[in-house]
Amino acid sequence: MGVQRTESAKAWTLLLIAAAFEIVFALSSAANEGFTRPVPSLITAVAGGGGVYLLSLALRTLDVGIGYTVWTGIGSVGAVVFGALLFGESITVGKVACLVAIIGGVLGLHMTTESAPEADHGADDEADRPESAVTDAVPDVVPDAVPERTAKQ
């Protein structure tokens, strides 16, 4: 197993754990009654911080568009399912159809990310060039003044 594949597996594992924290965050948010109940409030804070922290670690490897979407998708599905189990919330045919769509989207994003061909890191990729090759390609000309951005009125 290559280093890139190992990093990807680690990132997806972190993302799944972060999504579990997101589910706990959503459920404890409902249970804390506007942060008036201490234990659910503490769980909300810890789960929210833990989920965002783990998500940020996963986003070191995963694209933000993929990682964040998967994180919120899993969190959404988990919140609906566990909300029904723990709080007696209704699950309708419409909700099930939407959950299936979310799950399909999450799986689709995961599969397209995993099956994407590795980028060709040939000579044209500046990230693989020695620093001098990159800096030599940048002209030494610096404009005297950079126009300031102004708000549209």
> 40 CB contacts (<8 Å, ≥6 apart)?
28, 31, 32, 33
Structure-token pair, residue 142: 């610096």
Residue in the structure block whose two tokens are 């986003």:
59
Q: CA–CA separation, 49 vs 62, rounded Å? A: 19
- If one compares 152 and 2, the residue with the highest pLDDT of the two is 2
Residues 48-75: pLDDT tens digits?
999 999 999 999 999 999 999 999 999 9
Q: Is the confidence at residue 93, as pLDDT, over 50?
A: yes
Is residue 94 within 8 A of residue 102, CB to CB? The reply is no
